[in-house]
Each structure stands twice: as structure tokens, then as C-alpha cells.
């Protein structure tokens, strides 16, 4: 896959937006442990950044996923990746299934405002005891006439304290675990902007991604219309697996910006003199930084290959899992080595490298842990029983 002039123009527009509307405020948002998603998303929506692949009928650009990938790569340059993650959830994690399988009525009610940045949305899959093992989740929606009544809880919800609605994966029948789940749009606030009846939200304090508000959300007999279901009943697991492909490529693309850490570290080491010469004159440091950059470019090639295949309509479960696995591990390596080479300065709290060290660590846990990615890849290789 080769980016066209249009891809580069989109990326440049997003980078300009980041420089003007996000980066000047990230230190403040990190300290507050939240960024003003409604304000940021409204501005992004006005520029079309939240609906790049979504149908034009609902306010999107109608472009293929390669443009969303380019946007994610640009968003990776935000100087606090909690903000980047929140944007990624809005654009490429909570809305793909709705855009692909939701009814026209549902898309007009929930997708169009999300694309416009008028609302904040979230995705609800993980639970306590059911994170990596999606098939074992317990949250349930029982049918009551024309409504579903939902009980249970969801964990690690990005945008959770601000979200207006959540795309919720839950059990809607007692059948096999891969065929008894549905995706349902659940409003988290009422028309007046107050917390919806039966909804409780508890903020979670994290090691990194501080500017992203993360929550556990409880559902106590929450009633929503059956028409809020995305697509067919019992197809939620399949829809979510497809949604994961975009999520994992989005997250991997954002990690390509870690090349900036290498560049900033090299600049610092040129100026930092030890034992009579710049630290960058040390051959080990030179070779390690060269190795890390090589790995980033290898990751780029893998991501682009997966994206090209996805745009062609191919199943990229294996490639997306490989990209996420490599991105998570490489992000950790880059941040760790750059911190090591910067020494005590790299260990200070307000240093960009130390923030990346905290933020990037999530890459091997969230959205499917490294071990899950390895399991998916091993299955695709025919090394494991598909039912295992």
C-alpha cells in the first residue's frame, strides 16, 4: 500500500489540528486525568475527522480504510496517547459495526451524531473475569416485549465517564457462546444529559494513558428498545471480531509515531557530553537506535500490507493480530531504551519519554493481550485446535 497525495493531505490536516487544538493542552489534561472529549470531538467532527470511512449519508467521507489508517498514524503523534486512544475509540472501535450492520434508523440516531462529534461514544466488551476471553462474558440482555433489559457490568471502558452511549456486547440467549451474543447501543445519559436510569459509572485510576478517562460501568435492569440492536440477534460475537480488526490496526498505526522518541533521544544525546564526548558517539547507542528504527519500518510494512488486504475485502485477522503484537512490544522497547539512554532526565515525570513509557505499556494488554494475539496467530497457522 502506498499513500497518495490525498492520504498525505489528510495526515497533514490532522497534524495541524493536533498542533493547534490538542498538544498545547495535554499537560493540563494529563494532570486532570481526562480530556474534554465533547469539545475536541466537536471540532474534529466539523473537519470530518471522525467519519473518514463512514457513509456520506450519515455525515462521513465514504473513503476506504486506508484513509482511516493514515489518520490513526497522524493521531499517534499526539503528545499524550490517552487522547489518541479516546479518538480511536470514537472513530474506529465503537462505530464500525454500527456503520456496517446497523439499521438506517439506528445510524441516523447514533452514528450521525458520533461522526459530527456531537456525542461521545464508547465500546463495552471486557468484564471482570472476561477480558481476553470474550466468549465468557456474563452481561445479559433479556427480552421483554419490545425491549431488552440489561444487567451486568463492563470494565476498562475508554471515554467511560464522558460517553453518551456505549456499543455493548452482551448475551441475548442461552445458546453456544459464539452464537448467543448481540451488539446493542445503550444510551448512558438521558435527554437532559443526566446519568440514565440503572447506569452507574466508576472511574478507574491507571498507570498510564492518564488523559483518557477509563471506567467500570454497571447496568442494573437497564431498559433499551430492541431496535437498538445492531444487525441480527446472536451475531454480536462475529460483528465484534470484525470490529477488532479495525481497532487493532488503528492502535498499531498510532505506535508508528514512536519514531519521534528515537529522533528526540538522538538530539538529546548529541548535546549530552560524558567522558569528554557526546553520548551519541557511543557505537552501542548508535546501533540500538538504528535497530529500533528498522523495527518501526518493519512494523509499518506489516500494517500497510494488512490494510491493503483489508481494503481488498480479505480477512486480516492474522495480519492485524501480528501488527498489534509487534506494535505493543516495539512501543515498549522504544520507550524503555530511549529512557535508558536519556538517563535521569528520561526518568523525570514530565519527560515525553517517561509518558510514552507509561502510555505504550497498555499496547500489550488492551484490545487483546499479547498472549491472545499469539493464540490467534497460532490458530491461523494450524498449530492449535480451532476450538481450543
Active-site residue identified among 30, 73, 127, 247: 247
Cell of 53: 470511512
Beta-ladder partners of 235:
181
What is the pairing mode between strands 214-225 and 181-187? unpaired
Question: Do the beta carbons of residue 182 and residue 141 sit within 8 Å?
Answer: yes
> Is 109 a residue of the active site?
no
Question: Do the beta carbons of residue 219 and residue 151 sit within 8 Å?
Answer: yes
- The residues, ordered by sequence, that sit 6+ positions from 68 with a Cβ below 8 Å of its Cβ are 52, 53, 91, 92, 246, 250
Dist CA 114 CA 33 (whole Å): 23
**From the CB of residue 182, how many other CB atoms can be counted at a distance below 10 Å?**
25
- The interaxial angle of helices 352-360 and 317-342, nearest 10 deg, is 150
Dist CA 372 CA 174 (whole Å): 25
**From the CB of residue 195, how many other CB atoms can be counted at a distance below 10 Å?**
11
Mind telling me the catalytic residues? Answer: 247
Amino acid at each position: 500500500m502506498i499513500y497518495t497525495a490525498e492520504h498525505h493531505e489528510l495526515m497533514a490536516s490532522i497534524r495541524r489540528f493536533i498542533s493547534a487544538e490538542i498538544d498545547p493542552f495535554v499537560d493540563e489534561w494529563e494532570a486532570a486525568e481526562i480530556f474534554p472529549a465533547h469539545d475536541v470531538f466537536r471540532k474534529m467532527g466539523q473537519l470530518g475527522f471522525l467519519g473518514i470511512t463512514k457513509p456520506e449519508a450519515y455525515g462521513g467521507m465514504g473513503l476506504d480504510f486506508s484513509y482511516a489508517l493514515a489518520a490513526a498514524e497522524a493521531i499517534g503523534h499526539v503528545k499524550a496517547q490517552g487522547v489518541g486512544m479516546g479518538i480511536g475509540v470514537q472513530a474506529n472501535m465503537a462505530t464500525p459495526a454500527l456503520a456496517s450492520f446497523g439499521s438506517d434508523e439506528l445510524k441516523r440516531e447514533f452514528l450521525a451524531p458520533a461522526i459530527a462529534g456531537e456525542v461521545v461514544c464508547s465500546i463495552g466488551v471486557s468484564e471482570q473475569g472476561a477480558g481476553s476471553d470474550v466468549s465468557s462474558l456474563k452481561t445479559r440482555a433479556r427480552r421483554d416485549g419490545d425491549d431488552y433489559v440489561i444487567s451486568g457490568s463492563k470494565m476498562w471502558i475508554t471515554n467511560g465517564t464522558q460517553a453518551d452511549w456505549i456499543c455493548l456486547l452482551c448475551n441475548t440467549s442461552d445458546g453456544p457462546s459464539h452464537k448467543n451474543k448481540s451488539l446493542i447501543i445503550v444510551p448512558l445519559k438521558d435527554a437532559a444529559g443526566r446519568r440514565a436510569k440503572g447506569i452507574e459509572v466508576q472511574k478507574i485510576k491507571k498507570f498510564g494513558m492518564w488523559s483518557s478517562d477509563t471506567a467500570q460501568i454497571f447496568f442494573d435492569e437497564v431498559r433499551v428498545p430492541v431496535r437498538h440492536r445492531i444487525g441480527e440477534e446472536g451475531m454480536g460475537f462475529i460483528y465484534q471480531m470484525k470490529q477488532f480488526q479495525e481497532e487493532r490496526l488503528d492502535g498499531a498505526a498510532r505506535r508508528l509515531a514512536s519514531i519521534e522518541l528515537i529522533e528526540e533521544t538522538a538530539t538529546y544525546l548529541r548535546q549530552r557530553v560524558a567522558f569528554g564526548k557526546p553520548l551519541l558517539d557511543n557505537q552501542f547507542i548508535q546501533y540500538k537506535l538504528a535497530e529500533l528504527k528498522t523495527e518501526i519500518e518493519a512494523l509499518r510494512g506489516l500494517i500497510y500490507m494488512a490494510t491493503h488486504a483489508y481494503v481488498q475485502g480479505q480477512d486480516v485477522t492474522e495480519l492485524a493480530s501480528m501488527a498489534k503484537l509487534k506494535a505493543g512490544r516495539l512501543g515498549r522497547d522504544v520507550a524503555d531504551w530511549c529512557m535508558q539512554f536519556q538517563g535521569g532526565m528520561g526518568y523525570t515525570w514530565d519527560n515525553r519519554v517517561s509518558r510514552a513509557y507509561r502510555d505504550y505499556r497498555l499496547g500489550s494488554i488492551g484490545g487483546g493481550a499479547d498472549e491472545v494475539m499469539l493464540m490467534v496467530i497460532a490458530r491461523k497457522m494450524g498449530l492449535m485446535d480451532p476450538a481450543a
